């Protein structure tokens, strides 16, 4: 491996860490919606695959480190994954310990990363022999996954019934594009439909804003009131193992190991579940809360890293919630990456190790240090100067551009249509997981209906 | 869409006209403006780029950054921040 490639990986990792430190803090940013479009664009620009992987690993580590900052300081989740931690962080906030919260969460994250990187690489290696068999039945697995996830939702019959119509919508648009020569016969529109699903809830809301009755009935607010607590300064370079007590290190580590083993399950679900299991016996509220947040952050981090690396290395298909969500661009980003030609096929085991280690080390050393030392300042800056509208505008702009790139002007309408339907389904409780699985298995589902 | 300037302070401070989108409070008007600006700069960058797949995306990305900077400058975040001082324990 030559020096320029390593330097490129370092540069990309630094870019990822800085960008997702800021995005991580912005309230409510969904992991898939913020990670997938940017990674997709980088893939499509033709960046070296190994550099993309380093960028992605650094981005998820940085995002997971920083999305707990607004939880601790303001009780607002910085992302979907940090939502389960709000309850426990609020306990610490109540006792006036938000700085403790941040340190415990960030340290849990670091432990999760340190444990999950080698463990995921090992588990992936063990799974390589069966990877080929799994890949052969991918359509059935994705369809089965959609059915399974649909049955797990609150409105299970609604979710189940939506699978076929949604598959028809996707295939219908693809065949229309082929029929009118909007795209060549051998090109399947995927990326922009994926993004349409991701931004579905926002697209739906935008359409609603144009409806006077709905607009007038929406709850109005003047501003989002956020109370920040001033923190005490910490001296010296932070050490995650000193910021946690022995038991917290133990349960974060245990949580991380379980997070790797359950890479194919929903990370949010596992975080809630393991967080409860690991702390249910502790009585003292402060101890319980700090134990919970440190181990939960360990779980989310390791579930994310394992969910990305294991399917990438062992299978080559996005068979985990992380892979099919935020990490989708590493698997499927036509014309650069396809099912038969993606990171799984391009990179060797040592490439995976090098890229992952560079990404993780850079994100931890930059973001962990900054998180612990300057969380208050960063939070204030983001809350004060970065308008939420600008973030929404950026992702909308990216989606429109990628829609145009995929199949021209007509596809902007197509993506809005997909987004509109996906947004309604999402509001009815048909979650992203079901929709992504359907997007993947749509060609197969439709063929079964003939 | 009305033609008043989005950064107009009186607008954001006087009426409780804002709604929640994606877990944070936004003004519908500013949101539409931001989406319009970002779409124009992004797609515009993409379209004026020389005819080369990777350059098109690079120009698009530059467009996104420009759009983001413009929006951050002209739109005021709808967040009110207050500080609570901790007593030393």
The answer to whether the CB atoms of A394 and B68 lie below 8 A apart is yes
Return the pLDDT at A222: 80
The answer to whether the CB atoms of B77 and A206 lie below 8 A apart is no
Tell me if A223 is assigned to some domain. Answer: no
Segment B53-82 mean pLDDT: 87
Task: Tell me the percentage of chain A whose pLDDT exceeds 70.
Answer: 95
Average pLDDT over all residues of chain A: 87
Return the pLDDT at A215: 83
Quick: pLDDT tens for B22-46. Answer: 667 888 889 999 999 999 999 999 9
Count of residues for chain B? 89
Return the pLDDT at A57: 95
A397 neighbourhood in chain B, CB within 8 Å = 35, 38-39, 41-43, 63-64, 67
Given B13, B16, B30, which is nearest A220 (Cβ)? B16
B68 neighbourhood in chain A, CB within 8 Å = 390-391, 393-394
pLDDT band, residue A380 (cuts 50/70/90) = confident
Given B18, B28, B33, which is nearest A222 (Cβ)? B18
Give the CA distances from residue A325 to residues A37, A247, A332, in Å, rounded to whole numbers and listed in that order: 11, 33, 11
Q: Minimal Cα distance from A409: which residue of B?
A: B43
CB of A44 within 8 Å of any CB in chain B? yes
Segment B64-71 mean pLDDT: 92
B71 neighbourhood in chain A, CB within 8 Å = 387, 389-390, 393-394
Given B39, B81, B83, which is nearest A397 (Cβ)? B39
Under DSSP, the state recorded for A61 is H
CB of B61 within 8 Å of any CB in chain A? yes
Q: Minimal Cα distance from B19: which residue of A?
A: A220
- For residue A132, the surrounding DSSP H or E stretch is helix A98-136
Given B18, B38, B85, which is nearest A230 (Cβ)? B85
Is A224 a residue whose pLDDT tops 90?
no
**How far apart, in whole angstroms, are the C-alpha atoms of residue A269 and residue A249?**
22
- Chain B window 7-26: which residues touch A at a Cβ cutoff of 8 Å? 13, 15-26
CA nearest to A188, candidates A178, A199, A200, A180? A178
Quick: pLDDT tens for B12-22. Answer: 444 567 888 76
pLDDT band, residue A142 (cuts 50/70/90) = confident
Return the pLDDT at B16: 67
Quick: pLDDT tens for A269-279. Answer: 778 788 778 88
Q: How far is A305 from chain B (nearest CA, A)?
A: 25
Residue with more model confidence, A273 or A9: A9
Given A201, A226, A392, which is nearest B35 (Cβ)? A392
Is B2 a residue whose pLDDT tops 50?
no
Return the pLDDT at A231: 65
Tell me if A309 is assigned to some domain. Answer: yes
**How far apart, in whole angstroms, are the C-alpha atoms of residue A408 and residue A62?**
34
Return the pLDDT at A209: 86
User: Given 3-state DSSP classes, what are the helix, strand and coil percentages for chain A, each rounded to the nearest 5?
Assistant: 75, 0, 20
**How far apart, in whole angstroms, are the C-alpha atoms of residue A389 and residue B30?**
7
Return the pLDDT at A89: 82
Quick: pLDDT tens for A396-435. Answer: 898 899 899 889 999 999 999 999 999 999 999 888 888 9
CB of B44 within 8 Å of any CB in chain A? no
Is B3 a residue whose pLDDT tops 50?
no
A76 neighbourhood in chain B, CB within 8 Å = 23
Q: How far is A402 from chain B (nearest CA, A)?
A: 9
**Rounded to the nearest 5 degrees, what angle is found at the Cα of A190, between the Cα atoms of A37 and A337?**
75
The answer to whether the CB atoms of B17 and A220 lie below 8 A apart is yes
CB of B37 within 8 Å of any CB in chain A? yes
Q: How far is A155 from chain B (nearest CA, A)?
A: 22
Segment A88-94 mean pLDDT: 79
Quick: pLDDT tens for A297-319. Answer: 889 889 889 999 999 999 999 98
Please state the domain count of chain A: 1
pLDDT band, residue A199 (cuts 50/70/90) = confident
φ and ψ at residue A113, rounded to 5 degrees: -70, -45
The answer to whether the CB atoms of A392 and B58 lie below 8 A apart is no
Sketch the domain layout of chain B as residue ranges. 24-74
**Rounded to the nearest 5 degrees, what angle is found at the Cα of A36, between the Cα atoms of A341 and B50?**
75
The answer to whether the CB atoms of A388 and B24 lie below 8 A apart is yes
Q: Minimal Cα distance from B80: which residue of A?
A: A225
- Chain A window 142-201: which residues touch B at a Cβ cutoff of 8 Å? 201
Q: Minimal Cα distance from A204: which residue of B?
A: B21
Task: Indicate whether this complex's ipTM tops 0.90.
Answer: no
Q: Which domain range does residue A58 map to? A: 3-215+235-448
């Amino acid at each position: 491996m030559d020096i320029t490639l390593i330097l490129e990986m370092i540069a990309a990792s630094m870019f990822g860490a800085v960008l997702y430190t800021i995005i991580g803090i912005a309230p409510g940013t969904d992991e898939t919606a913020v990670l997938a479009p940017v990674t997709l664009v980088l893939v499509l620009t033709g960046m070296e695959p190994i550099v993309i992987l380093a960028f992605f690993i650094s981005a998820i580590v940085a995002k997971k480190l920083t999305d707990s900052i607004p939880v601790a300081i303001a009780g607002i989740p910085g992302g979907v994954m940090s939502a389960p931690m709000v309850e426990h962080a609020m306990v610490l906030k109540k006792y006036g310990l938000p700085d403790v919260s941040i340190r415990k969460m960030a340290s849990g994250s670091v432990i999760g990363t340190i444990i999950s990187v080698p463990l995921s690489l090992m588990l992936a290696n063990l799974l390589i022999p069966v990877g080929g068999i799994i890949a052969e039945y991918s359509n059935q697995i994705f369809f089965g996954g959609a059915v399974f996830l649909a049955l797990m939702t609150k409105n299970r019959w609604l979710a189940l019934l939506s699978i076929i119509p949604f598959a028809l919508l996707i295939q219908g648009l693809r065949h229309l594009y082929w029929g009118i020569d909007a795209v060549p016969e051998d090109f399947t529109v995927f990326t922009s439909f994926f993004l349409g699903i991701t931004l579905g809830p926002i697209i739906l809301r935008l359409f609603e804003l144009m409806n006077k009755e709905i607009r007038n009935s929406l709850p109005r607010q003047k501003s989002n009131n956020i109370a920040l607590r001033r923190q005490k300064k910490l001296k010296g370079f932070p050490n995650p193992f000193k910021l946690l007590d022995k038991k917290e290190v133990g349960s974060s580590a245990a949580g991380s190991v379980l997070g790797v083993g359950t890479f194919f399950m929903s990370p949010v679900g596992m975080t809630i579940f393991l967080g409860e299991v690991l702390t249910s016996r502790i009585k003292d509220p402060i101890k319980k809360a700090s134990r919970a947040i440190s181990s939960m952050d360990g779980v989310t981090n390791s579930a994310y890293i394992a969910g990305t690396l294991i399917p990438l290395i062992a299978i080559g298909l996005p068979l985990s919630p992380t892979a099919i969500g935020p990490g989708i661009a590493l698997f499927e980003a036509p014309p650069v990456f396809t099912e038969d030609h993606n990171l799984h096929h391009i990179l060797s085991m040592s490439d995976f190790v090098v890229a992952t280690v560079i990404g993780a080390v850079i994100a931890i050393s930059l973001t962990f240090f900054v998180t612990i030392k300057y969380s208050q300042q960063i939070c204030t800056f983001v809350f004060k100067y970065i308008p939420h509208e600008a973030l929404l505008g950026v992702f909308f702009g990216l989606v429109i551009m990628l829609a145009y790139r995929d199949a021209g002007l007509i596809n902007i309408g197509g993506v809005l249509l997909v987004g509109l339907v996906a947004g309604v389904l999402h509001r009815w409780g048909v979650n992203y997981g079901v929709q992504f699985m359907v997007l993947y298995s749509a060609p197969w589902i439709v063929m079964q209906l003939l | 869409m009305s033609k008043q300037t989005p950064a107009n302070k009186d607008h954001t401070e006087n009426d409780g006209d804002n709604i929640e989108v994606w877990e944070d409070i936004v003004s519908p008007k500013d949101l539409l403006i931001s989406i319009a600006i970002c779409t124009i700069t992004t797609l515009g960058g993409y379209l004026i780029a020389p005819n080369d797949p990777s350059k098109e995306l690079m120009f698009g990305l530059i467009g996104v950054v420009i759009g983001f900077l413009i929006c951050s400058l002209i739109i005021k975040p709808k967040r009110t921040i207050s500080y609570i001082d901790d007593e030393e324990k």
